[in-house]
């Protein structure tokens, strides 16, 4: 209802402006060109100052109405994300102050210095001081902002900065039309090699099982699990077109490019359960989305992330089976044992009963 009312108000404003413009045309015919121009200037000056006031009120109103629906109130869910938010607030602060000052001056000057018979317009073709001022000052501010951005970018994409005795969780993220698949290293802590030529059947990631490091790797689709408070490194791939790993709650994103692995790392700060409380949403889930248009099913390319305490994460990891046993079920000790069980029963049944 509010949206309909807002649209109706906007439409009415445009209708009023249109009617005023049409009325001014009729007045120009009746009064003559010179008088009409001066009257139009007064009307335009009034409309400009009205637009300024209504525009500033609208900006404040929209911020007041929609701010709590954004991700900012709940805060970033990673250490790097907090720095990204700080950088964004600084950028908005600097550009916001400049925006308000320049817009107020622009519309106020248009109103104050409208055409008048008592005042002559002053023109000057060039001013070195002004040129230097509005070139140098923005350049300095933009350079500072770019340096901050590059600093955080190199931190996120460089080698993880580990504290003494801290373990790194490595997860390989693979995107394809239209879903995400994840691979964890096994007990050896090393991700095995991949070969796109081996991508067939159950081996959807093309894992090279000739590499011994691949034999204990764990493959998960759809939902990723991460430990809270531990650094996590993503090794990102794509199998078909360019995708983009979007982690809005962690304030991170990185392209997934076919044939060119990319990396980023971060440290989750809150579990999924804690974020349900922070966000006030009992159905909250962390999300991994595709932020690069990748085809007609792009909208559905979404994965889930469960952040949990380290103990719960390790418990979950212990329940996962190596991908090797999925691709080669006949090698799985459990399947071998289950297949041998009927033969044992047959042999037992064939033995003579003891009296």
Residue in this structure with the two tokens 């003579």, named with its chain if needed:
352
Residue 352: band (very low, low, confident or very high) from pLDDT cuts 50, 70, 90: low
Q: Give one DSSP letter per residue of 21-56, joined into a string.
A: HHHHHHHHHHH-HHHHHHHHHHHHHHHHHHHHHHHH
Phi, then psi, of 200 in degrees rounded to 5: -160, 150
Q: What is the pLDDT of residue 314?
A: 93
d(CA 29, CA 102): 36
* pLDDT of 293 over the 60 cut: yes
Of the chain, the percentage scoring pLDDT greater than 70 comes to 91
* pLDDT of 83 over the 80 cut: yes
Q: What is the pLDDT of residue 170?
A: 94
Q: Minimal CA–CA distance to 27: which of 11, 40, 45?
A: 40
Mean pLDDT of 262-281: 93
Segment of 32-41, 55-64, 90-99, 301-310 carrying the highest mean pLDDT: 301-310
Whether residue 194 contacts residue 181, with contact meaning beta carbons closer than 8 Å, is answered with no
Residue 59: band (very low, low, confident or very high) from pLDDT cuts 50, 70, 90: confident
* pLDDT of 38 over the 90 cut: no
**Residues facing 180 on adjacent strands:** 175
Phi, then psi, of 332 in degrees rounded to 5: -70, 120
Delimit the domains of the chain by residue range: 1-69, 169-327
Please tell me which residue, 140 or 350, carries the higher pLDDT value: 140
Q: What is the pLDDT of residue 347?
A: 47
Residue 25: band (very low, low, confident or very high) from pLDDT cuts 50, 70, 90: low
The side-by-side arrangement of strands in the sheet containing 262-266 is 218-221, 179-184, 169-176, 232-238, 262-266
Whether residue 254 contacts residue 292, with contact meaning beta carbons closer than 8 Å, is answered with no
Return the minimum-mean-pLDDT range out of 59-63, 156-160, 219-223, 349-353.
Answer: 349-353
* pLDDT of 350 over the 60 cut: no
Q: What is the pLDDT of residue 333?
A: 76
d(CA 237, CA 255): 9
pLDDT in tens, 122-135: 777 788 888 898 89
Q: What is the pLDDT of residue 6?
A: 75
The CATH class that applies to domain 169-327 reads mainly beta
Q: What is the pLDDT of residue 355?
A: 46
């Amino acid at each position: 209802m509010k949206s309909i009312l807002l649209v109706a108000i906007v439409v009415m404003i445009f209708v009023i402006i249109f009617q005023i413009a049409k009325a001014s045309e009729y007045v120009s015919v009746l009064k003559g060109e010179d008088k009409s121009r001066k009257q139009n200037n007064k009307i335009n000056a009034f409309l400009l100052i009205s637009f300024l006031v209504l525009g500033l009120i609208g900006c404040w109103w929209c911020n007041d109405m929609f701010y709590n629906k954004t991700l900012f109130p709940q805060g970033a869910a990673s250490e790097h994300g907090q720095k990204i938010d700080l950088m964004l607030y600084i950028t908005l602060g600097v550009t916001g102050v400049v925006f308000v000052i320049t817009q107020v001056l622009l519309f106020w000057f248009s109103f104050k210095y409208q055409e008048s018979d008592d005042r002559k317009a002053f023109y000057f073709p060039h001013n070195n001081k002004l040129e230097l001022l509005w070139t140098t000052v923005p350049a300095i501010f933009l350079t500072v902002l770019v340096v901050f951005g590059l600093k955080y970018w190199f931190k996120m994409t460089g080698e993880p900065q580990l504290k003494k005795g801290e373990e790194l969780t490595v997860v390989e993220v693979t995107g394809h039309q239209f879903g995400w698949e994840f691979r964890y290293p096994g007990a050896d802590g090393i991700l095995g090699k991949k070969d796109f030529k081996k991508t067939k059947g159950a081996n959807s990631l093309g894992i090279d099982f000739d590499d011994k490091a691949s034999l204990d790797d764990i493959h998960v689709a759809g939902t990723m699990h991460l430990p809270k408070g531990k650094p996590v490194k993503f090794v990102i791939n794509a199998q078909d077109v360019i995708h983009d790993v979007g982690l809005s709650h962690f304030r991170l994103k990185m392209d997934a490019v076919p044939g060119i692995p990319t990396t980023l790392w971060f440290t989750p700060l809150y579990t999924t359960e804690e974020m349900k409380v922070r966000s006030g949403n009992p159905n909250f889930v962390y999300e991994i989305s595709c932020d690069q248009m990748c085809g007609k099913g792009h909208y559905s390319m979404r994965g889930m992330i469960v952040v949990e305490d380290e103990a719960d994460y390790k418990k979950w990891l212990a329940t996962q089976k190596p991908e090797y046993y999925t691709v080669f079920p006949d090698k799985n000790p459990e399947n071998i044992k289950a297949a041998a069980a009927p033969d044992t029963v047959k042999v037992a049944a064939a033995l003579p009963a003891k009296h």
